Amino acid sequence: MQINQHKFLHALCLMAACLLAGCSGGGADTPELGRVSGTITLDGKPLSSATITFEPKSGAPSVGMTDDSGHYELAYNPDTKGAVPGQHTVRISKFGEPGSPNDTVDQVPAKFNKNSKQTAEVKPGENTINFDLDSKAK
């Protein structure tokens, strides 16, 4: 049985966020969070099966994964949706299907993930934060 790499990466990110957050599951240790969702496009097309990570200046990151329409919702840990309020560095990645020639190559330019300078501000309450990525822009 072959594990879907996208689901594995998403689960791995959620586990990392959970460990950093102490797996509080919404208890007294969970900080105030803002709910964050939005849509990601790359060159005008929905970016499906991508992982998005919001990294605050301090505290645990929040992660999400896009659906076929490019829509995502962030999770602070496996039991709690949202992200800590404040400024975040945003990283977006997408890898090929397992077993394909490009399954280890990020299909999103490095300027949006490992070299990301993208930021977003999360506020308490509901936040809709969309990303329209242009692979050709400098």
CA distances to 44, 53, 87 from 14, in Å: 28, 10, 20
Q: What is the mean pLDDT of residues 71-87?
A: 96
Could you give the 3-state DSSP secondary structure of residue 30? coil
Assign domain 5-133 one CATH number from 2.40.128.520, 3.90.550.50, 2.60.40.10, 3.40.50.2300: 2.60.40.10
pLDDT at 97 over 80: no
| 136 within 8 A of 70, measured Cβ to Cβ | no
pLDDT tens across 103-113, in order? 788 899 999 99
What residues form DSSP beta bridges with 42? 45, 133
Cβ contacts of 118 within 8 Å, gap of 6 or more = 89, 90, 91, 92, 112, 131
- For residue 5, pLDDT over 50 is answered with no
